Structure 1
Amino acid sequence: MTGALDLDRYAGHLIRRAEQVHTSLWSEFVSDTVTSQQFAVPNALRQSPGVDQSTVARLTSLDRSPAHHIALRLTEQHHVGRRRDLSDRRRTVPTPTTEGGKLHASLAPDAERINDELLAVFPGERRGEVLHTLAQISQR
């Protein structure tokens, strides 16, 4: 029988723990009602106006079904509007609303702050390398 594994040497375990820290910081300093995944949708719409819902899912690294549910929730809360693409009636184009713009503007500074706080454990010259490494892992 194999002995117990040292989970502090396993990337998946450490990534999960890091996500728990992020979620805790987000809830404490950004919002306890809007998740970081929900925030990602209006952020993507600000970054890439006019994209369809599938593109929003890709930009936010969410599967299509959760992205759809988040978009519906944000629509119900009047943070996102929806319209049919006139050139392809099968496509739904989420659109930012005035309320969604206000929501984004109110959350973005604190989202930046917790990002800085998460990266603060690394020396300044290593932060870009850390982000690059995380991006490489997330591309798998």
Structure 2
Amino acid sequence: MPNKEDDRALSRYTGSLVRRAQQRHVAVWLAEVSAEITSVQYAALEVLHETPGVNQRQLGDELDVDRSTIADLVARMVRNGLIERSDDPVDKRSYVLFLTPAGKKQLAALRPRVEEVERILTARLTKKECLELRRLLAALLPDREV
């Protein structure tokens, strides 16, 4: 177990703090939301709720995951009955994606739990600090190509 001095040394590194914050997020997610639905799957449900009929590539771009990862994610969510895919009427090499009724129900059930994760993770921050944290974390990410 690390001692306080090690903890202070590691806190000088942004990557170490981001990793530890992510570990905390995963632990809180598992406790409060689901062991079956990952935060990336939840994000996919939200994207498909907001923009039904996006293709697999667009969903991957929105979630910032690569082609093989989005293909696996979509296949798993189709198998679990959360989303359905059909041929893209514009590009026959592509699929368009929609929430199933079960996916819509799952999204509605998960939303309050996801809000609880947010509340737990940011409990020691003011509203202004929460906004600043999100702004700063977004600044660490590379610009997305449009």
> 1:59 pairs with 49, 54, 62, which one?
62
Helix, strand or coil for the counterpart of 1:9? coil
Task: Provide the secondary structure at the position in 1 that maps to 2:90.
Answer: coil
Deviations 1:71-115 (A, max 9, x none): 100000111100011111011111110011111111111111111
The one-letter code matched in structure 1 to 2:22 is E
2:3 aligned residue = none
Matches of 1:48 and 1:114, distance apart in 2: 24
Residue type matched to 1:10 in 2? Y
One-letter amino acid of the counterpart of residue 31, structure 1:
S
2:95 aligned with 1:109:
no
Flag structure 1 segments of 5+ consecutive residues without an equivalent. none
The letter of the residue matching 2:99 is P
Structure 1 residue 37 displacement after superposition: 1.2
Q: Partner residue of 2:40?
A: 37
Answering whether residue 133 of structure 2 is matched by residue 136 of structure 1, we say no
Q: Does 1:50 align with 2:69?
A: no
* Aligned mates of 1:97, 1:112 — CA distance in 2: 22
Q: TM-score, with normalisation over the residues of structure 1?
A: 0.91
Equivalent pairs counted in the alignment come to: 137
Q: Which residues in structure 2 correspond to 1:63-74 (within 5 Å)?
A: 63-74=66-77
- The structural deviation recorded for 1:139 is 2.9
Give the residue type in structure 2 aligned to 1:51. Answer: V
Q: Give structure 1 regions of 4+ aligned residues with deviation exceeding 2 angstroms.
A: none
Aligned residue identity for 2:16:
H
Candidates 69, 77, 82, aligned match of 2:80: 77
Identity value in percent:
31
Partners of 1:14 and 1:49 in 2: CA distance: 36
What do residues 41-75 of structure 1 show as CA deviations (whole Å, max 9, x unaligned)? Answer: 11110121111111111111222211110110000
